[in-house]
Amino acid sequence: MKKIFTSCFLFFGFLANAQYTKEINSNRPSLSMGAYSVSKSILQIEAGLGFQKDEYSNERYNNHTLVDLQFRYGAFFEQLEFVADLKYDNTKQVVFDQKQNFNSFRQSSIGAKYMIYDSYRNYVEKRNVYSWKANQRYKWRRLVPAVAVYLGADFKGDENYFPKNMPSTTLKGMIITQQHINNNLSFVTNLIIENATDNDFRSYGYIATLSYGFSQRWSVFAENQGFFRKYEGVKQNFKDDCILRGGFTYLVNKNLQLDISGGTSIGNTPHKMNGQIGASWRTHKKYKQETVEGIE
Protein backbone atom coordinates (compact mmCIF):
# COMPACT_ATOMS: atom_id res chain seq x y z
CA MET A 1 0.00 0.00 0.00
CA LYS A 2 1.50 3.33 -1.12
CA LYS A 3 0.86 5.20 2.12
CA ILE A 4 2.17 2.39 4.25
CA PHE A 5 5.25 1.02 2.63
CA THR A 6 6.50 4.17 1.00
CA SER A 7 6.19 5.79 4.42
CA CYS A 8 8.49 3.12 5.84
CA PHE A 9 10.89 2.58 2.98
CA LEU A 10 10.47 5.17 0.25
CA PHE A 11 13.51 7.27 1.02
CA PHE A 12 15.70 4.30 1.76
CA GLY A 13 16.94 3.34 -1.68
CA PHE A 14 15.35 6.40 -3.30
CA LEU A 15 17.19 7.25 -6.52
CA ALA A 16 18.24 10.56 -8.01
CA ASN A 17 15.69 11.53 -10.68
CA ALA A 18 13.74 8.32 -9.99
CA GLN A 19 10.72 7.06 -8.08
CA TYR A 20 11.60 3.39 -7.86
CA THR A 21 11.25 1.94 -4.37
CA LYS A 22 12.74 -1.27 -3.00
CA GLU A 23 9.33 -2.41 -1.75
CA ILE A 24 6.14 -2.42 -3.79
CA ASN A 25 4.26 0.90 -3.84
CA SER A 26 0.58 -0.10 -3.93
CA ASN A 27 -2.66 1.87 -3.85
CA ARG A 28 -4.40 -0.99 -2.00
CA PRO A 29 -6.27 -1.55 0.15
CA SER A 30 -7.42 2.05 0.54
CA LEU A 31 -9.26 3.86 -2.25
CA SER A 32 -6.94 6.85 -2.35
CA MET A 33 -4.20 7.20 -4.95
CA GLY A 34 -0.62 7.96 -3.92
CA ALA A 35 1.47 10.69 -5.51
CA TYR A 36 4.36 8.43 -6.54
CA SER A 37 4.36 6.36 -9.70
CA VAL A 38 5.38 2.71 -9.98
CA SER A 39 8.45 3.86 -11.98
CA LYS A 40 9.25 3.70 -15.66
CA SER A 41 8.80 0.30 -17.38
CA ILE A 42 7.23 -1.37 -14.33
CA LEU A 43 3.85 -3.09 -14.59
CA GLN A 44 1.86 -3.45 -11.38
CA ILE A 45 -1.39 -5.36 -10.89
CA GLU A 46 -3.62 -4.74 -7.86
CA ALA A 47 -6.70 -6.94 -7.34
CA GLY A 48 -9.33 -7.42 -4.66
CA LEU A 49 -12.42 -9.51 -3.89
CA GLY A 50 -15.01 -7.87 -1.66
CA PHE A 51 -18.51 -8.06 -0.25
CA GLN A 52 -20.82 -5.15 0.55
CA LYS A 53 -24.31 -4.79 2.01
CA ASP A 54 -26.47 -1.73 1.34
CA GLU A 55 -29.22 -1.77 3.96
CA TYR A 56 -32.29 0.43 3.57
CA SER A 57 -34.39 -1.58 6.06
CA ASN A 58 -34.82 -5.18 7.18
CA GLU A 59 -37.01 -5.80 4.15
CA ARG A 60 -34.93 -3.93 1.58
CA TYR A 61 -31.21 -4.43 1.00
CA ASN A 62 -28.59 -5.18 -1.64
CA ASN A 63 -25.79 -7.73 -1.34
CA HIS A 64 -22.80 -7.14 -3.60
CA THR A 65 -19.92 -9.35 -4.62
CA LEU A 66 -17.22 -6.98 -5.88
CA VAL A 67 -14.09 -7.54 -7.95
CA ASP A 68 -11.59 -4.69 -8.26
CA LEU A 69 -8.74 -4.86 -10.74
CA GLN A 70 -6.20 -2.09 -11.34
CA PHE A 71 -3.33 -2.03 -13.82
CA ARG A 72 -0.54 0.53 -13.38
CA TYR A 73 2.29 1.04 -15.83
CA GLY A 74 5.11 3.57 -15.75
CA ALA A 75 6.16 4.97 -19.12
CA PHE A 76 8.19 7.78 -20.72
CA PHE A 77 9.12 9.48 -17.42
CA GLU A 78 9.72 8.30 -13.86
CA GLN A 79 6.96 10.64 -12.68
CA LEU A 80 4.32 9.35 -15.14
CA GLU A 81 2.10 6.32 -14.90
CA PHE A 82 -0.97 5.11 -16.76
CA VAL A 83 -3.82 3.57 -14.77
CA ALA A 84 -6.68 1.28 -15.84
CA ASP A 85 -9.24 0.62 -13.10
CA LEU A 86 -12.06 -1.97 -13.45
CA LYS A 87 -14.87 -2.57 -10.95
CA TYR A 88 -17.17 -5.57 -11.42
CA ASP A 89 -20.33 -5.93 -9.34
CA ASN A 90 -22.62 -8.95 -8.92
CA THR A 91 -25.68 -7.74 -7.00
CA LYS A 92 -28.54 -9.55 -5.29
CA GLN A 93 -31.35 -7.08 -4.63
CA VAL A 94 -34.09 -7.87 -2.10
CA VAL A 95 -37.22 -5.72 -1.77
CA PHE A 96 -39.69 -7.43 0.57
CA ASP A 97 -40.39 -10.76 -1.18
CA GLN A 98 -39.05 -9.69 -4.55
CA LYS A 99 -35.52 -10.75 -5.49
CA GLN A 100 -33.47 -9.66 -8.45
CA ASN A 101 -29.93 -10.41 -9.58
CA PHE A 102 -27.86 -8.29 -11.94
CA ASN A 103 -24.19 -7.89 -12.70
CA SER A 104 -21.97 -5.65 -14.77
CA PHE A 105 -18.81 -3.61 -14.77
CA ARG A 106 -20.19 -0.90 -12.51
CA GLN A 107 -17.48 1.58 -13.42
CA SER A 108 -14.25 1.50 -15.37
CA SER A 109 -11.67 4.21 -15.87
CA ILE A 110 -8.53 4.89 -17.85
CA GLY A 111 -6.22 7.75 -16.98
CA ALA A 112 -2.74 9.06 -16.33
CA LYS A 113 -1.03 10.39 -13.21
CA TYR A 114 1.98 12.73 -13.20
CA MET A 115 3.91 13.90 -10.15
CA ILE A 116 4.57 17.61 -10.58
CA TYR A 117 6.50 18.26 -7.36
CA ASP A 118 8.65 16.31 -4.90
CA SER A 119 10.76 18.20 -2.38
CA TYR A 120 13.19 15.28 -2.19
CA ARG A 121 13.92 15.02 -5.88
CA ASN A 122 17.62 15.73 -6.48
CA TYR A 123 18.01 16.42 -2.76
CA VAL A 124 20.82 14.85 -0.76
CA GLU A 125 20.67 15.31 2.99
CA LYS A 126 23.97 16.34 4.52
CA ARG A 127 25.17 14.94 7.82
CA ASN A 128 26.72 17.10 10.47
CA VAL A 129 29.90 15.22 11.36
CA TYR A 130 30.41 17.40 14.44
CA SER A 131 26.99 17.09 16.09
CA TRP A 132 25.00 13.91 16.81
CA LYS A 133 22.18 16.07 18.21
CA ALA A 134 21.89 18.06 14.98
CA ASN A 135 21.52 14.83 13.00
CA GLN A 136 18.68 13.65 15.27
CA ARG A 137 16.52 16.75 14.87
CA TYR A 138 13.20 16.43 13.11
CA LYS A 139 13.49 17.07 9.37
CA TRP A 140 10.79 19.65 8.63
CA ARG A 141 11.15 18.96 4.90
CA ARG A 142 9.08 15.85 5.59
CA LEU A 143 5.96 18.01 6.00
CA VAL A 144 6.27 19.40 2.46
CA PRO A 145 3.99 17.12 0.40
CA ALA A 146 4.72 15.54 -2.93
CA VAL A 147 2.05 16.68 -5.40
CA ALA A 148 0.62 14.84 -8.39
CA VAL A 149 -2.27 15.35 -10.79
CA TYR A 150 -4.54 12.75 -12.37
CA LEU A 151 -6.78 13.02 -15.42
CA GLY A 152 -8.93 10.22 -16.76
CA ALA A 153 -12.17 9.07 -18.32
CA ASP A 154 -14.88 7.19 -16.38
CA PHE A 155 -17.07 4.64 -18.17
CA LYS A 156 -20.27 4.00 -16.24
CA GLY A 157 -21.89 0.66 -16.96
CA ASP A 158 -24.60 0.18 -14.32
CA GLU A 159 -27.69 2.38 -14.26
CA ASN A 160 -28.63 1.08 -10.81
CA TYR A 161 -25.88 3.23 -9.31
CA PHE A 162 -25.97 6.28 -11.55
CA PRO A 163 -28.80 8.48 -12.86
CA LYS A 164 -30.19 7.01 -16.07
CA ASN A 165 -29.59 10.20 -18.03
CA MET A 166 -25.99 10.64 -16.87
CA PRO A 167 -23.51 10.40 -19.79
CA SER A 168 -21.92 6.97 -20.00
CA THR A 169 -18.46 8.51 -20.44
CA THR A 170 -17.36 11.38 -18.23
CA LEU A 171 -14.15 13.19 -17.29
CA LYS A 172 -12.46 12.81 -13.89
CA GLY A 173 -9.66 14.87 -12.36
CA MET A 174 -7.71 14.67 -9.13
CA ILE A 175 -5.08 16.56 -7.12
CA ILE A 176 -2.98 14.21 -4.97
CA THR A 177 -0.70 15.07 -2.06
CA GLN A 178 1.50 12.74 -0.03
CA GLN A 179 3.48 13.51 3.12
CA HIS A 180 5.96 11.27 4.91
CA ILE A 181 5.66 12.58 8.45
CA ASN A 182 8.28 10.18 9.76
CA ASN A 183 9.80 6.85 8.76
CA ASN A 184 6.60 5.00 9.77
CA LEU A 185 3.76 7.48 9.29
CA SER A 186 2.39 8.99 6.09
CA PHE A 187 -0.65 11.01 5.05
CA VAL A 188 -2.29 11.09 1.61
CA THR A 189 -5.10 13.30 0.36
CA ASN A 190 -7.07 13.15 -2.90
CA LEU A 191 -9.25 16.07 -4.04
CA ILE A 192 -11.55 14.76 -6.73
CA ILE A 193 -13.87 16.16 -9.38
CA GLU A 194 -16.11 13.75 -11.32
CA ASN A 195 -18.32 14.38 -14.36
CA ALA A 196 -16.20 17.48 -14.77
CA THR A 197 -17.60 18.61 -18.11
CA ASP A 198 -21.28 18.07 -17.24
CA ASN A 199 -22.98 20.89 -15.33
CA ASP A 200 -25.95 18.73 -14.33
CA PHE A 201 -23.94 15.90 -12.76
CA ARG A 202 -20.67 17.45 -11.65
CA SER A 203 -19.62 16.23 -8.20
CA TYR A 204 -16.72 16.70 -5.81
CA GLY A 205 -15.09 14.43 -3.29
CA TYR A 206 -12.11 13.84 -1.08
CA ILE A 207 -10.18 10.93 0.42
CA ALA A 208 -7.84 11.31 3.39
CA THR A 209 -5.66 8.34 4.38
CA LEU A 210 -3.34 8.00 7.36
CA SER A 211 -0.98 4.99 7.34
CA TYR A 212 1.42 3.55 9.88
CA GLY A 213 4.00 0.82 9.43
CA PHE A 214 4.58 -0.85 12.80
CA SER A 215 7.05 -3.45 11.51
CA GLN A 216 8.98 -4.19 8.34
CA ARG A 217 6.11 -6.32 7.03
CA TRP A 218 2.90 -5.27 8.82
CA SER A 219 1.11 -1.95 8.41
CA VAL A 220 -2.27 -0.40 9.18
CA PHE A 221 -4.33 2.44 7.71
CA ALA A 222 -7.39 4.55 8.53
CA GLU A 223 -9.32 6.46 5.89
CA ASN A 224 -12.19 8.91 5.48
CA GLN A 225 -13.94 9.52 2.16
CA GLY A 226 -16.68 12.02 1.36
CA PHE A 227 -18.74 13.06 -1.66
CA PHE A 228 -20.61 16.26 -2.44
CA ARG A 229 -23.17 15.76 -5.21
CA LYS A 230 -25.78 18.01 -6.76
CA TYR A 231 -27.53 16.25 -9.61
CA GLU A 232 -29.91 18.68 -11.31
CA GLY A 233 -33.34 17.40 -12.32
CA VAL A 234 -32.83 13.89 -10.95
CA LYS A 235 -35.62 12.31 -8.92
CA GLN A 236 -33.46 9.46 -7.63
CA ASN A 237 -31.90 9.98 -4.23
CA PHE A 238 -28.11 10.10 -4.74
CA LYS A 239 -27.04 11.42 -1.36
CA ASP A 240 -23.67 12.60 -0.21
CA ASP A 241 -21.72 9.84 1.51
CA CYS A 242 -19.23 9.84 4.35
CA ILE A 243 -17.30 6.57 4.58
CA LEU A 244 -14.79 5.26 7.13
CA ARG A 245 -12.33 2.48 6.27
CA GLY A 246 -9.45 0.66 7.88
CA GLY A 247 -7.27 -2.35 7.28
CA PHE A 248 -3.92 -4.12 7.32
CA THR A 249 -1.28 -5.08 4.79
CA TYR A 250 1.40 -7.75 4.86
CA LEU A 251 4.54 -7.55 2.73
CA VAL A 252 5.31 -11.08 1.51
CA ASN A 253 8.37 -9.94 -0.41
CA LYS A 254 9.52 -6.74 -2.11
CA ASN A 255 7.22 -7.36 -5.10
CA LEU A 256 4.13 -8.90 -3.45
CA GLN A 257 1.73 -7.47 -0.86
CA LEU A 258 -1.43 -8.96 0.69
CA ASP A 259 -4.20 -6.92 2.34
CA ILE A 260 -7.48 -7.04 4.23
CA SER A 261 -9.82 -4.11 4.91
CA GLY A 262 -13.33 -3.07 5.87
CA GLY A 263 -15.51 0.00 5.98
CA THR A 264 -18.87 1.53 6.79
CA SER A 265 -20.86 4.62 5.82
CA ILE A 266 -22.15 7.01 8.46
CA GLY A 267 -25.22 9.22 8.62
CA ASN A 268 -26.99 8.08 5.46
CA THR A 269 -29.51 5.64 4.03
CA PRO A 270 -28.64 3.11 2.80
CA HIS A 271 -26.17 2.08 5.45
CA LYS A 272 -23.21 0.46 3.69
CA MET A 273 -20.86 -2.12 5.18
CA ASN A 274 -18.09 -3.84 3.27
CA GLY A 275 -15.02 -6.02 3.58
CA GLN A 276 -12.31 -6.98 1.12
CA ILE A 277 -9.18 -9.06 0.68
CA GLY A 278 -6.62 -8.44 -2.03
CA ALA A 279 -3.10 -8.57 -3.36
CA SER A 280 -0.66 -6.37 -5.27
CA TRP A 281 2.16 -7.65 -7.48
CA ARG A 282 4.72 -5.95 -9.72
CA THR A 283 7.36 -6.84 -12.24
CA HIS A 284 10.83 -6.22 -10.88
CA LYS A 285 13.37 -3.67 -12.08
CA LYS A 286 16.99 -3.14 -11.11
CA TYR A 287 18.58 0.26 -11.22
CA LYS A 288 22.28 0.70 -11.89
CA GLN A 289 22.47 4.32 -10.83
CA GLU A 290 24.08 5.25 -7.56
CA THR A 291 21.46 5.49 -4.81
CA VAL A 292 20.93 8.60 -2.75
CA GLU A 293 20.81 8.19 0.99
CA GLY A 294 17.35 8.85 2.39
CA ILE A 295 15.94 10.38 5.51
CA GLU A 296 16.62 8.82 8.86
Ordered by where they begin, the domains of the chain are 2-121+136-282 (2.40.160.40)
Residue 240's pLDDT is 56
What mean pLDDT, rounded, does the chain reach?
82
Cβ atoms of 3 and 9 within 8 Å: the answer is no
The dihedral through the CA atoms of 75, 81, 260, 68 has a sign that is negative
Residue 232's pLDDT is 58
Question: What are the Cα distances from residue 34, in Å, to 6, 134, 163?
Answer: 9, 31, 30
pLDDT per position as a tens digit, 206-229: 999 999 999 989 999 999 998 887
239, pLDDT greater than 80: no
Residue 292's pLDDT is 36
pLDDT-derived band at 175 (thresholds 50, 70, 90) equals very high
Query: Which of 32-36, 136-140, 264-268 has the lowest average pLDDT?
Result: 136-140
pLDDT-derived band at 74 (thresholds 50, 70, 90) equals very high
